Amino acid sequence: MSQKDSWGDRRNGAQETTPPLLASSRSGLSKIIHERSRLALLAYLAVRGSASFAQIKGMLSLSDGNLATHLRVLENAGFVQVRKETGNRRRKTTVAMTLEGKSRFGAYLDELETVILRARSGLSATRDAPGSSDEAPSAATELPVPTTTPTQPGRNAP
């Protein structure tokens, strides 16, 4: 493939690398959902139930084309149902999560929560390790502060 993903560059025969934290949970973090705009869209629909194309577009600040593309991906994967209705000479598009979409999104959130908990425990272990500290640097490690203020030629010092 000639595409670059977030964990490695597959061009020029380079192998994709997965961070150790995500290695065991990779299958649970769906690339379909994990894209920022689609994640926000599904979270929005999880709270609202359904929304119009215009509402989603305004909330996500996406162009018509970008939103339509994201909706097509989610619809093809079974996460959302897109209904197009015609009334008053205008076409209205409404989007709602499917039952399958709700179930899969919930499973995704559970897996993401597991990844977050692992990361937090790793941070705690690092913070508690000998030699690590969250304290401010000591005076010995701080940069020296000049005792005089430089002046520009032709100007008086303050």
Structural domains in the chain, CATH included, are 25-119 (1.10.10.10)
Which segment of 63-67, 103-107, 113-117, 135-139 scores lowest on mean pLDDT?
A: 135-139
The count of C-alpha atoms lying within 13 angstroms of the C-alpha of 36, restricted to the half-sphere facing its C-beta, is 5
* pLDDT above 60 for 84: yes
Candidates 1, 30, 20; CA nearest to 100 is 30
Q: Do the beta carbons of residue 121 and residue 113 sit within 8 Å?
A: no
Q: Which pLDDT score, from 0 to 100, does residue 87 have?
A: 80
Which segment of 11-25, 57-71, 88-102, 112-126 scores lowest on mean pLDDT?
A: 11-25
* The two three-digit tokens of residue 141, written as one number: 């490690």
Q: Which pLDDT score, from 0 to 100, does residue 129 have?
A: 62
**Model confidence pTM above 0.95:** no
pLDDT band at 75 (very low <50, low <70, confident <90, very high): very high
Please state the φ and ψ torsions of residue 93, each to the nearest 5 degrees: -110, 125
Give 41: exposed, middle or buried? Use CB within 10 Å, 0-12, 13-18, 19+: buried
Please state the φ and ψ torsions of residue 25, each to the nearest 5 degrees: -115, 10
pLDDT band at 135 (very low <50, low <70, confident <90, very high): low
pLDDT band at 3 (very low <50, low <70, confident <90, very high): very low
